[in-house]
Amino acid sequence: MVCTHFTELGMIYMAMYQPEIETMPQDQLRALQSERLVKQVRHVYDNVPYYRKKMEEKGLTPDDIKGLDDLHKLPFLTKDDLREAYPYGLMGRPLSDCVRIQSTSGTTGRRVVAFYTQHDVDLWEDCCARAIMAAGGTKDDVVHVSYGYGLFTGGAGLHGGSHKVGSLTLPMSSGNTDRQIQFMVDLESTILCCTPSYAAYLAETIQERGLRDQIKLKAGIFGAEAWSEEMRQDIQNKLGIKAYDIYGLTELSGPGVSYECSEQAGMHICEDHFIAEIIDPDTGEVLPDGTKGELVFTAITKEAFPLLRYRTKDICVLNRTKCSCGRTHVRMAKPMGRSDDMLIIRGVNVFPSQIEEVLLKVSGGDITPNYQIIVGRENNTDTLDINVEMSEAMFSDDIRSVERVEKNIVAQLRSMLGIGAKVHLVNPKTIARSEGKAVRIIDNRKI
């Protein structure tokens, strides 16, 4: 499926999986969203007692929702609601209509289990196919899927999307790095799909083994965890690829809710399936586009697990300016932190993204993007330790140089956070690499 469009610089030939949808004029897209929203609200009200009760508590019926302008009237759903309704309380279809479940990692609290009809799976795979083609993928590519398979959505989503495009799909899953690289070389993989931290580890290993010239990769689709622009550039340089961001949540489907195009200037949300809002995380008030706030999604085509106004806790900005790729769907910025990952340390609100910002600012080639935040408590006082890997070049410097960089980071952190932290520059590759989501924060406090 191919779409062409013109720019002031001449014709650009762009490949899209569903060009008639991806380039739909915004007025038509809004009309489609309104139509699907009205239908979805009726579906949820009739089939999901848990949400119907929430609507009744607000005095709402489906007749009150006539289109997008009425979306703000609907009650929010949160992860607490999903846990309370576990496992079947938010299902919109009988179990006999469902063909699959996926689940969150369950690192805190009760797992979230999402259900899918075959129709849900097909639409999810369409979204992932859009992401692959936006990264330059075609039926002639070899898509190397190193996201985890099983309950985690990463492997299943990109695997299905690759099939929809018609690419040769390597269902590698995570782990076994030796085999990953062997297949990458032998089968000439061209598109790598995995977490950014695992991509960085693969890049390091490939360089160490002198295999860079034998790798045929041209693009990578990386998501499931936060990563910085510096990390993107590092991966791109080491692997000789273009690295694309992808976003998703198990609660909505998985990866493919939004994805980057060739411009790498925000991720296009699949607005024919998901309505995005930005709200004030404290008041719930809907904020105008271009304002930073909490991202909220409404799934307007999902059958088995149809969430309305789900609060993601991700902080970001929506951008509706025209994208030169030709796609008309709104773009979301890379999440700028979360409204719920705030650490309170000695009474001060600390976001991990603030710490990463300081590390990037003072890097200068002395440190790598690999770091770990360790929070503890001694004598009823919170402690904050930050381990940061040195670069290979820094590792060979004298101890005074190391101390100088540590002191600089400490000073910058105090300026940013208003509290002191202990910074430890550690040897290269001593912070554990992750084949799944990188563990950036270790909170050892027993509060």
Taking each helix axis as running N to C, give the angle between helix 399-417 and helix 352-361, from 0 to 180 degrees, rounded to the nearest 10: 140
Q: For the segment 346-373, what is each residue's pLDDT rounded down to a tens digit? A: 877 787 878 888 888 777 767 877 889 9
Strands (DSSP E) found in 35-188: 98-103, 113-117, 142-145, 168-171
* Among 152, 100, 144, 108, CA closest to 436: 152
Angle, helix 229-239 to helix 196-208, in steps of 10 degrees: 40
Q: Is 427 exposed, middle or buried (0-12, 13-18, 19+ CB in 10 A)?
A: exposed
Strand partners, 318: 332
Over the stretch 70-108, which tens digit does the pLDDT of each residue have?
999 999 999 899 989 999 999 999 999 999 999 975 434
Q: Which of 10-14, 91-95, 112-116, 304-308 shows the lowest per-residue confidence on average (mean pLDDT)?
A: 10-14
**87: cis peptide before it, omega within 30°?**
yes
What is the SS3 assignment for 79? helix
* Least confident segment among 11-15, 83-87, 260-264: 11-15
pTM: 0.81
Strands 242-248 and 255-260 turn out to be antiparallel
Distances (CA, A) of 149 to 15, 103, 141, 160, 178: 28, 11, 21, 12, 18
